[in-house]
C-alpha cells in the first residue's frame, strides 16, 4: 500500500532470564496495563504499532531449559530487547553470557540491541549505568545498542525504549 518501509513489520525478540519481566513488558506495550503472568513456556507474539511503525514482538520464555531454543527465533530479527532484572545481581553473569552468545550468532548480525534495566522500583537495585558497566556494553562495536532503565509495573521508561527503536529504523 505504502512505498518504503512504513508498512513493513519489524521483527523483535524479547529475551532475558526467567522472571526478568519480559511478558509484563510485552503486555504493557500492547495494553498499557499490568497483566498477571506465569512463566512463559514457548513464546507469546503480538503486533505493537508505534507511530506507523509495526513491530512483531516475540516474547520468549527465559527458563534455563528453554534458552537453548532461543536461536530458533533469530532469523530476520531486527531488534533484540534484552530484559534484565536489576535486582538479580547473582545472575547478571548468566545474562552477560547469553548476550554475547546472541551477538556472535550469524542470524543476529544485523540486529540492534535494546537493554531494559527493569524493576527500577526495587530498593537496592542496580542502576542502568552499573548494568552497562558489568555487561561491558561500551565494548560492543558491531551492533547498535542502547540501555534504558524501566519499571514494567508502572510503564516508566518503556516508551523511551520504543522511541530508540523507531529512531533506528531507516538508519540501516
Ligand atoms: N517489582 C517489579 N516487579 C516486576 C517488574 N516487571 C515484572 N515484574 C514481576 O516479575 C515477575 C516476572 O515477570 P514476567 O513478565 O512473567 O517475567 P518473564 O521475563 O516473562 O519470565 P519467563 O516467562 O519465565 O521468562 C512477575 O511477578 C512480574 O509482576 C517491575 O518492573 N518491578
Ligand atoms: Mg514470560
Q: Of 6, 8, 28, 63, which is the active-site residue?
A: 63
Q: Verify whether ligand 1 is closer than 6 Å to residue 37 (CB atom).
A: yes
CA-based nearest residue to 88, from 59, 117, 60: 117
At residue 1, the pLDDT reads 46
Q: Verify whether ligand 1 is closer than 6 Å to residue 157 (CB atom).
A: no
- Distance from residue 2's CA to the centre of ligand 1 (Å): 37
CA-based nearest residue to 50, from 83, 12, 19: 12
Task: Say whether 6 counts as a known binding-site residue.
Answer: no
Cell triple for residue 104? 556472535
The model's pLDDT over 128-139, given as tens digits with 9 standing for 90+, comes to 999 999 999 999
Q: Verify whether ligand 1 is closer than 6 Å to residue 153 (CB atom).
A: yes
The model's pLDDT over 23-69, given as tens digits with 9 standing for 90+, comes to 999 999 999 999 999 999 999 999 999 988 999 999 999 999 999 99
Q: Is 97 left (phi over 0), alpha (psi -120 to 50) or beta?
A: alpha
Cell triple for residue 94? 548468566
Task: Say whether 123 counts as a known binding-site residue.
Answer: no
* Domains of the chain listed by start with CATH number: 7-166 (3.40.50.300)
Ligand nearest to the CA of residue 39, numbered in listed order: 1
pLDDT higher than threshold 50 for residue 18: yes
Report ipTM for this prediction: 0.99
pTM of the predicted model, to two decimals? 0.96
Amino acid at each position: 500500500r505504502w512505498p518504503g518501509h512504513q508498512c513493513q513489520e519489524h521483527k523483535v525478540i524479547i529475551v532475558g532470564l526467567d522472571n526478568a519481566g519480559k511478558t509484563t513488558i510485552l503486555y504493557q506495550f500492547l495494553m498499557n496495563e499490568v497483566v498477571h503472568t506465569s512463566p512463559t513456556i514457548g513464546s507469546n507474539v503480538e503486533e505493537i504499532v508505534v507511530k506507523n511503525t509495526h513491530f512483531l514482538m516475540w516474547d520468549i520464555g527465559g527458563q534455563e531449559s528453554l534458552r537453548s531454543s532461543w536461536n530458533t527465533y533469530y532469523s530476520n530479527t531486527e531488534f533484540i530487547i534484552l530484559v534484565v532484572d536489576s535486582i538479580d545481581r547473582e545472575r547478571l553473569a548468566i545474562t552477560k553470557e547469553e548476550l554475547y552468545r546472541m551477538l556472535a550468532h550469524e542470524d543476529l548480525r544485523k540486529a540492534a540491541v535494546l537493554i531494559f534495566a527493569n524493576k527500577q522500583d526495587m530498593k537496592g537495585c542496580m542502576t542502568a549505568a552499573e548494568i552497562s558497566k558489568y555487561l561491558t556494553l561500551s565494548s560492543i562495536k558491531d551492533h547498535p545498542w542502547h540501555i534504558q532503565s524501566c519499571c514494567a509495573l508502572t510503564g516508566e521508561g518503556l516508551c523511551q525504549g520504543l522511541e530508540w527503536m523507531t529512531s533506528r529504523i531507516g538508519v540501516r
